[in-house]
Amino acid sequence: MSGFSNHIRHSASDQGSRVGRGTSKRSSSYPKRLREEFTFLNDPDTPLELQALMTRRITDYQEYRRLWWKLFESDTPDECAQTAGKLIEAFLDNRASHEELKYYQEHHEVLGKHPIFAERKRNEQLRGLSVRELIRRQEKVKNNIWRVRSEMRKNNKPQLDEKRRQRLRDYERELAELNRLIGDE
C-alpha cells in the first residue's frame, strides 16, 4: 500500500476512534461559528448595520464558495478571468465585513469603512432633501444608470466590467430609495 493511501487510512481510523470516545468532532483549528467568534451578535443591542453586515457576510461567503467551484469548471480563459475577478470581489467584500465585525468586537464601536455604511449615510442624506431635490437626483441617477449600461453594452473595456456592475448596483439601490421617498414605486 502506498504511503499516501496508508496515511489516509490511518487518519480516517484515528478520526473515527476520537469521535467514538465522545470528543468533539471539531478540532481546535476548525473555524469558529460566527456567533462564537462575534459574541456581540447575541446581544439585542447590536446595531442594525452590523446585523445587516453579518447577513451580507454570509451571502458573500456563499458567493465566494460558488465562484471557487465555478473557477475550476471554466472552459475558456475569458470565462476563467471573469470568474476569478468576481471571486476576488467576493473575497474582498467578505474580508471588509470581517474587519468591521472584528473591530466592533474589540472596541465596541462601529468602524464604518464598509460600503454598507456609506449606503446608509447616502440614504440619510436623501431623506434630508426636499421633494424638488429628490426629483432632480432621481433624474440624474436614471441618466447615470443609462450611461453605465451603455458603457457595458459597448464592451470596449472588459477589465472595467466588474466596477461597472458595482456602480450599476449602487445606482439601482439609490434609485430604489429615491423612488420610495418620492412615492414613484
Q: What is the mean pLDDT of residues 128-152?
A: 94
Q: Is 33 exposed, middle or buried (0-12, 13-18, 19+ CB in 10 A)?
A: exposed
Q: How confident is the model at residue 135 (pLDDT cuts 50, 70, 90)?
A: very high
pLDDT value at position 31?
58
Grid coordinates given for 112: 464604518
Q: Which of 22, 13, 43 is nearest to 108 (CA)?
A: 43
| pLDDT tens sequence across 1-22 | 333 333 333 333 343 433 333 4
Give yes or no for residue 54 having a pLDDT over 80.
Answer: yes
CA angle, residues 11, 12, 14, in degrees to nearest 5: 65
- pLDDT attached to residue 138: 95
Distance CA 137, CA 180 (A): 13
What mean pLDDT do residues 145-150 have?
95
Which whole-number Å values give the CA distances from 124 to 113, 120, 143, in the listed order?
Answer: 17, 6, 22
* Nine-digit cell string for 124: 440619510
Record the pTM. 0.60
C-alpha cell of 94?
467578505
Rounded to the nearest integer, the mean pLDDT of the chain is 80
